[in-house]
């Protein structure tokens, strides 16, 4: 059942076999695993059924790093988590992403691709994508258009599938109807309370924004709050351990990574569609279409000693004919202006992730007289007719000779890039998060080498010329023009040695018997792949382990 903890209908103390904190992709996947079993689950979510500014404000924080980072807009506090904003991209990691690389400090996962593969197969069903086979870091799926054939020693095409669902909407009814699952909305984790020697969690203290408090007692606990909040929750649970739970070696919050993204420059070509059409995500077919992405080959990464990365070509419009401009303005003016709080919040967060104002593109005449705009559309009908003909021919409606290259990159694990607690407090009285997001010399080297090969190869196949972005100079003091893609990774990294990581290969917090962590915070490295598919695979793997542990414990008690 689903209960809103704000309305006072839930008991102040709840007992369960398993307590999961965070109802995002990972938390819902684990909870759903137990539907129809004898194991009772309490799934705690700090947000509501839809987005609300009051809950979202609890995610605000400070930024002190060399790269700007806004913790309040790069994630969403709501049932379903930040995947309420996701683009649906699913792709497995490759073997290369999981092994140690001698040129990447702190690289290497304690588990390998073969151990993840069966859970990737199960993750397809959860994400509701077709049962495409997959190879090393790519799906083997049919595509709407053949991708460009590159020199395989430099660039490769890796295929991702797009999930058609939002997890909160897709699985809400199942969780609501499950008699053994209790979902608490607006129930914020205040602290994980440990036993006297801090080797087990005794209960989770929860509270609402209006001051109501309670607790959840369980045999086992899973933190599934996201790559930033998982670390924050461990750090602020410091009643017994002043540095926070799981932090004996000062690792919680360190190695904070993202997938930095930015413009690599542009290709000037008479045939821009040669670059953009094969990678156009509007041309997919079916409910869960697949698309190629242009990535760096393993051979090139190794030869140049760089990190992983990909690039996406975007056509840059040339001058827009007046008739088309008028039609766009009329459509903008006719859009409804009244939206609910959830829609407005989602629009604000999506705009922040695009580094754009929270407004529609080109809204100069939104409030102009509708009749005048309609007249302008009529006068511009020849432009509109030509554009319609171009659209029928599957060609751009506005001519262009420029293609912008946007790069997305793996980030080097760096212990100095980290999440800590700020002195400022949120409305619950908890310390806000402080993000110190940094890149390394290896990151800068990667951007330059990747931009060079992306630019040269795409210029070659399109008969164009490459114009690199000015910031990609050899000046290491120049500000890197990259920003977050809201893929928060690494803050509770996985390692067999507790001096190297926060959780072990089973995602159990070192030194705490009954506390596990789910989500991208356990990634030791991030590759370039969209992280959600691997987050789900690891969550399903953890669910199997928890199920076995809980059943074994119950059997032992019965004997």
DSSP-assigned letters across all residues of 470-525: TT-SS-TTSPP--B--S--B-TT-B-SSTTT-SB-TTSBBTT-TTEEE-SGGG-S-
pLDDT confidence of residue 283:
78
List per-residue pLDDT tens for the chain, 559 residues long. Answer: 999 999 877 788 999 999 999 999 999 999 999 999 999 999 999 999 999 999 999 999 999 999 999 999 999 999 999 999 999 999 999 999 999 999 999 999 999 999 999 999 999 999 999 888 888 899 998 898 899 999 999 999 999 999 999 999 999 999 999 999 999 999 999 999 999 888 999 999 999 999 999 999 999 999 999 999 999 999 999 999 999 999 999 999 999 999 999 999 999 999 999 999 999 998 777 778 999 999 999 999 999 999 999 999 998 865 556 654 555 565 666 656 556 788 887 887 787 777 654 444 433 434 446 555 455 545 556 655 555 555 555 566 556 789 999 999 999 999 999 999 999 999 999 999 999 999 999 999 999 999 999 999 999 999 999 999 999 987 777 789 999 999 999 999 999 999 999 999 999 999 999 999 999 999 999 999 999 999 999 999 999 999 999 987 766 666 5
Backbone angles phi, psi at 460, to 5 degrees: -65, -50
For the domain covering 2-64+166-257+414-435+489-558, report its CATH number.
3.50.50.60
d(CA 154, CA 297): 5
pLDDT confidence of residue 198:
87
What number of other Cβ atoms are within 10 A of residue 94's Cβ?
A: 21
pLDDT confidence of residue 352:
75
8-state DSSP, 446: H
pLDDT confidence of residue 326:
57
3-state secondary structure 363-418: CCCCCCCHHHHHHHHHHCHHHHHHHHHHHHCCCCCCCCCEEEEEEEECCCCCCCCE
Ordered by start, the domain boundaries in the chain are: 2-64+166-257+414-435+489-558, 323-393
**What's the first-to-final CA gap in the chain, in angstroms?**
32
What number of other Cβ atoms are within 10 A of residue 250's Cβ?
A: 12
Evaluate whether 389 touches 229 at the Cβ level (below 8 Å): no
pLDDT confidence of residue 363:
37
d(CA 61, CA 65): 13
């Amino acid at each position: 059942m689903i209960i809103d903890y704000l309305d006072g209908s839930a008991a102040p103390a709840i007992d369960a076999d398993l307590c999961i904190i965070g109802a995002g992709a990972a938390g819902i996947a684990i909870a759903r695993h137990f539907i129809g079993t004898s194991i009772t689950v309490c799934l705690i979510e700090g947000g509501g059924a839809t987005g609300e500014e009051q809950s979202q404000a609890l995610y605000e924080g400070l930024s002190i790093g060399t790269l700007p980072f806004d913790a309040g807009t790069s994630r969403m506090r709501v049932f379903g988590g930040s995947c309420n904003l996701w683009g649906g991209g699913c792709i497995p990691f490759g073997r290369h992403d999981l092994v140690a690389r001698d040129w990447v400090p702190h690289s290497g996962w304690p588990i390998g691709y073969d151990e993840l593969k069966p859970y990737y197969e199960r993750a397809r069903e959860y994400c509701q994508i077709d049962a495409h086979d997959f190879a090393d870091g790519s799906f083997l799926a049919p595509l709407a258009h053949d991708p460009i054939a590159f020199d395989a020693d430099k660039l490769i095409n890796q295929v991702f599938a797009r999930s058609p669902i939002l997890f909160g909407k897709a699985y809400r009814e199942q969780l609501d109807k499950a008699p053994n699952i209790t979902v608490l909305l607006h129930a914020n984790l205040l602290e994980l309370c440990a036993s006297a020697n801090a080797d087990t969690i005794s209960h989770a203290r929860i509270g609402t924004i209006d001051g109501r408090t309670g607790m959840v007692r369980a045999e086992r606990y899973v933190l599934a709050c996201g790559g930033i909040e998982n670390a924050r929750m461990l750090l602020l649970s410091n009643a017994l351990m002043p540095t926070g739970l799981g932090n004996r070696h000062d690792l919680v919050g360190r190695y904070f990574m993202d997938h930095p993204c930015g413009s690599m420059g542009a290709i000037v070509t008479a045939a821009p569609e040669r670059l953009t059409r094969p990678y156009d995500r509007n041309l997919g077919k079916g409910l869960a279409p697949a698309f190629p992405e242009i990535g760096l080959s393993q051979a090139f990464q190794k030869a140049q000693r760089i990190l992983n990365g990909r690039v996406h070509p975007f056509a840059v419009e040339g001058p827009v004919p007046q008739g088309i401009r008028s039609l766009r303005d009329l459509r903008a003016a006719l859009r409804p202006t009244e939206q609910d709080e959830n829609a407005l919040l989602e629009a604000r967060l999506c705009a922040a992730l695009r580094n754009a104002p929270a407004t529609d593109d080109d809204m100069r005449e939104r409030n102009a007289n509708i009749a005048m705009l309609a007249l302008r559309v009529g006068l511009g009908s020849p432009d509109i007719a030509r554009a319609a003909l171009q659209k029928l021919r599957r060609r751009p409606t506005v001519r262009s000779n420029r293609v912008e290259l946007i790069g997305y990159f793996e980030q080097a694990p760096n212990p100095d890039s980290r999440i800590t607690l700020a002195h400022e407090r949120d409305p619950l009285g908890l310390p806000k998060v402080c993000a110190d997001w940094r890149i390394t010399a290896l990151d800068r080297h990667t951007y330059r080498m990747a931009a060079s090969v992306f630019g040269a190869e795409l210029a070659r196949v399109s008969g164009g010329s490459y114009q690199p972005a000015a910031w990609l100079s050899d000046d290491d003091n120049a500000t890197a023009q990259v920003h977050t893609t809201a893929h928060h990774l690494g803050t509770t990294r996985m390692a067999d040695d507790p001096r190297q990581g926060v959780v072990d290969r089973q995602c159990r917090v070192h030194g705490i018997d009954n506390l596990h962590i789910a989500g991208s915070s356990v990634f030791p490295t991030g590759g370039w792949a969209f992280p959600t598919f691997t987050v789900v695979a690891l969550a399903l793997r953890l669910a199997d382990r928890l199920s076995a542990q809980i059943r074994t414990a119950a059997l032992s008690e019965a004997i």
